Structure 1
Amino acid sequence: MKEKTPKERLDTLLVKKGFFESREKAKSAIIAGLVKVDGKVADKPDIKFSPFVSIEIQQSLPYVSKGGFKLKKALNEFKINVTGFIAIDVGASTGGFTDCLLQEGVKKIYAVDVGKGVLHEKLRKDTRVVVMEGINARYLKEGDIPDKVDIITIDISFISILKIFPVIKSFLKEEGMVISLIKPQFEASPKDVNKGGIVKNIDVHLKVIENIKNNLKDLGFYLKNITYFYSKEGKGNIEYPTLFVLQEKDELSMDKIKEIVREAFTNWKLLSKK
């Protein structure tokens, strides 16, 4: 009796078949809903399939990770041109934000991450990238980054962004800006986070954003604009790419923020019901 061919994880299968050069990139495509197996969208990297299934990639990913899409959406909606900028990417990880910034024209970027060996090889080889791995951004000191920068991007997990802003201010030009992801699941009180790490209560989202807005205002940062991002299937948390500047006159009102968050929830709920 012939032995059955063992099944393999989808992300591993995609790499073995040559669709992607790394499992991380394969995972990003899967989670983004870009991979079909036998004609159906497969959105979980760890599901196992026979190596003989039919696989279709709906489109190639322009960035090394899905983080690039989040930043690109913010740059487009906030009408920001980063050509010629010097940047810091806090929480660079695989490099989605870094990749996006490079493609948008930054001339130099400091990619900071507490992990080691995570940044994509393509970005490591780019002469515009200064790799600062194994470094916790909370403990950056004056002199660690010799440049005053035009833009700082932040994509961190498991700690509040409020722990990062006091440190990064000294590296930012007076006319500089910060685009940070606000992730309610890491900012809210544990009692407000549902099983699986999902924050489903709109009031919690608004409370989180208002708390961050008020605390950062005390530090001299003003929330100028905010948008939202979630997976195509409406699963997972809503996250908020948010623009902060050092000019108070540009501050966005809480009423406008509420309007944007309500829109995010309406669209998210419609998707999650499909």
Structure 2
Amino acid sequence: MALQSWGVWPAAVYSMARRAPKYRTGLPLKDRKNTATRRRLDLAMVRRDLAPSRTQAREFIAAGRVTVNGAPAMKASRLVADGEPVVVAGPPAKFVSRAGRKLEHALDTFDITVTNRLALDAGASTGGFTDCLIQRGASHVYAIDVGTNQLHERVRALPTVTSLENCDIRSVSIDTFRDDPAAAGGFDLVVGDLSFISTRGLLEHLSTLLAPGGDMVVLIKPQFEAGRQEVSRGRGVITDRDVWVAVLHAFIDEATRVSLEVVDLALSPITGGKGNVEFLGHLRRSDILESVNETPEAT
């Protein structure tokens, strides 16, 4: 529609400009003055020590365990004022991240003893695996991650935990721990929860960090093990059972190739962040396979 006069346009723009601020905050005008003291619910829960991490907070919210002002909270993104009461029903989280539940399940299923053992956690992130190991009695845990400031402060503060940040597990060797005599012969327990990289492709390297008789527990994530076509088909979520089976077979074959014995496999008790089914593998160094790989002497 043609403008009849220039006076129409400025009036319309001025009217829109006056209304625009409400779209910036999504709050009624009367509440905008309080935005400085409001923050996302998941962040508020972490600040109030109601959840060890924002990921865990979102899980509590999704499970219907969180109320704000006595009413169920359905979205982690809702804004909460500092004075608003937030309550989480049920027992507190056992570990600093949900990953701890996965490792706990593996240790129980595979009947692995942790007490007084020296451990290495590859891909520690928030520290769920490390937290679980310490709670199970590990003498010391080296938490290794390529990121920065990810390890939960409660875990980081433990005297039995050494955090190595900005550290790619592929660049780590026994020599990295030369100042610790206990690690000279390798680690009694190596665990790994790695993302955006194939765990299968790291088995050979991880085996060099494992002491003879030691145990390795790794999380097998099909979305990082399958081919690009399979991953793209599900938009990052693998639901095809045939792909799961193929991933596990490839994992076993690679373990055998690098002289690791796959003692057992188990289904993770919980899915990954996007709903991906994950598996847990228990491996040991195989002296028998190592001897078979050697060239026998002529008789």
Question: Could you say whether these structures have the same fold, taking a TM-score greater than 0.5 normalized by the shorter chain as the test?
Answer: yes
Q: Contact 1:230–1:236 (CA<8 Å) still a contact in 2?
A: no
Q: Contact 1:192–1:199 (CA<8 Å) still a contact in 2?
A: yes
Deviation at 1:54, TM superposition (A): 6.1
Q: Is residue 280 of structure 2 the alignment partner of residue 241 of structure 1?
A: yes
Deviation at 1:171, TM superposition (A): 1.9
Deviation at 1:17, TM superposition (A): 4.8
Q: In structure 2, what is the Cα distance between the partners aligned to 1:56 and 1:71?
A: 24
Could you tell me which of 182, 192, 195 is aligned with 2:220? 182
Deviations 1:90-114 (A, max 9, x none): 0001100000000000001111100
In structure 2, the residue matched to 1:219 is 258
TM-score by length of 2: 0.73
Query: What amino acid is the match of 1:223?
Result: V
The 5 Å alignment of 1:109-258 reads 109-146=141-178, 147=183, 148-193=186-231, 194-229=233-268, 231=270, 236-247=275-286
Q: Is residue 78 of structure 2 the alignment partner of residue 48 of structure 1?
A: yes
Query: What amino acid is the match of 2:241?
Result: I
In structure 2, the residue matched to 1:11 is 42
TM-score by length of 1: 0.79
Change (3 A) 1:30 1:144: farther
Q: Contact 1:66–1:96 (CA<8 Å) still a contact in 2?
A: yes
Change (3 A) 1:126 1:234: closer
State the number of aligned residues: 247
Query: 3-state SS of the aligned residue for 2:120?
Result: strand
Q: In structure 2, what is the Cα distance between the partners aligned to 1:233 and 1:213?
A: 21
Query: 3-state SS of the aligned residue for 1:144?
Result: helix
Could you tell me which of 63, 85, 104 is aligned with 1:72? 104
The 5 Å alignment of 1:28-39 reads 29-30=60-61, 33=63, 35-37=65-67
In structure 2, the residue matched to 1:264 is none
Deviations 1:231-262 (A, max 9, x none): 4899601111110112488xxxxxxxxxxxxx
Deviation at 1:59, TM superposition (A): 2.0
Query: 3-state SS of the aligned residue for 1:80?
Result: coil
Deviations 1:165-206 (A, max 9, x none): 222222211111110000000101121124441101000000
Q: In structure 1, what is the Cα distance between the partners aligned to 2:138 and 2:124?
A: 15
Deviations 1:20-42 (A, max 9, x none): 365355345446x3733466584
Deviation at 1:228, TM superposition (A): 1.5
Query: What amino acid is the match of 1:214?
Result: D
Change (3 A) 1:29 1:225: farther
Query: What amino acid is the match of 2:244?
Result: H
Unpaired segments ≥5 residues, structure 1: 250-274
Change (3 A) 1:170 1:2: closer
Q: In structure 2, what is the Cα distance between the partners aligned to 1:242 and 1:14?
A: 34
If you compute each CA radius of gyration, which structure gives the higher value, 1 or 2?
Answer: 2
Query: 3-state SS of the aligned residue for 1:244?
Result: strand
Deviation at 1:124, TM superposition (A): 1.7
Deviation at 1:212, TM superposition (A): 0.9
Q: Contact 2:265–2:279 (CA<8 Å) still a contact in 1?
A: yes
Deviation at 1:55, TM superposition (A): 3.8
Superposition CA RMSD, Å: 2.9
Q: In structure 2, what is the Cα distance between the partners aligned to 1:77 and 1:27?
A: 28
Change (3 A) 1:224 1:76: same
Change (3 A) 1:248 1:155: same
Q: In structure 2, what is the Cα distance between the partners aligned to 1:233 and 1:65?
A: 12
